[in-house]
Amino acid sequence: MGSLVFVLFLTTGYFLGSMDFGLKDYSVKRERIIMGTVVEILIRNMPQDVAHNAINKAFAEFERIDNLFSTYKKESGVSELNSDLEKATVDSEIYFILKTCDEITKSTNGAFDAATGNIVDVWNFSSTQPQIPDSKILSEAVDNSGWINVELSDSNYVIKKKRIRFNFGAIAKGYAVDKAAFVLVNLGINDFLINAGGEIKTSGKNWKVGIQHPRRPTELIKSLLIEDYSVATSGDYEQYFELTGKRYHHILNPKTGYPARDIQSVTIVAKDNFVADAYATGVFVLGKDKGLALIESIESIEGMIITESDEIIKSSGFNKYVWR
* Mean of pLDDT values over 216-234: 93
100-109, 208-217, 264-273, 283-292: the lowest-pLDDT one: 208-217
Instruction: For residue range 78-103, list pLDDT tens digits in order.
Output: 999 999 778 899 999 999 999 999 99
Contact 152, 95 (CB under 8 A): yes
- pLDDT given at position 127: 87
* Mean of pLDDT values over 291-314: 98
Instruction: For residue range 41-69, list pLDDT tens digits in order.
Output: 999 999 999 999 999 999 999 999 999 99
d(CA 104, CA 295): 12
Residue 155 lies in a domain: yes
Q: Domain tally for the chain?
A: 1
Pairing of strands 157-160, 230-235: unpaired
- Split at pLDDT 50, 70, 90, the class of 231 is very high
- pLDDT given at position 25: 55
- pLDDT given at position 203: 97
- pLDDT given at position 218: 87
DSSP classification of residue 45: S
Instruction: For residue range 153-201, list pLDDT tens digits in order.
Output: 988 999 998 899 999 999 999 999 999 999 999 999 999 999 999 899 9
Torsion of CA 66, 69, 73, 79, to 10 degrees: 170
Residue 206 lies in a domain: no
* Mean of pLDDT values over 291-312: 98
Residue 1 lies in a domain: no
Q: Would the pTM count as exceeding 0.85?
A: yes
Residue 110 lies in a domain: yes
User: Angle formed by the axes of helices 273-286 and 288-297, to 10°?
Assistant: 140
- pLDDT given at position 26: 62
Residue 107 lies in a domain: yes
Percent of the chain exceeding pLDDT 70 equals 92
- pLDDT given at position 140: 98
Which residues constitute the domain of residue 146? 77-160
d(CA 266, CA 278): 11
Residue 94 lies in a domain: yes
The CATH number that applies at residue 118 is 1.10.3980.10
- pLDDT given at position 20: 46
d(CA 45, CA 27): 6
- Split at pLDDT 50, 70, 90, the class of 12 is very low
Residue 115 lies in a domain: yes
Tell me how many helices (H) and strands (E) the chain has: 8, 18
Question: What's the chain's Rg over C-alpha atoms?
Answer: 19
18-32, 95-109, 116-130, 302-316: the lowest-pLDDT one: 18-32
Residue 140 lies in a domain: yes
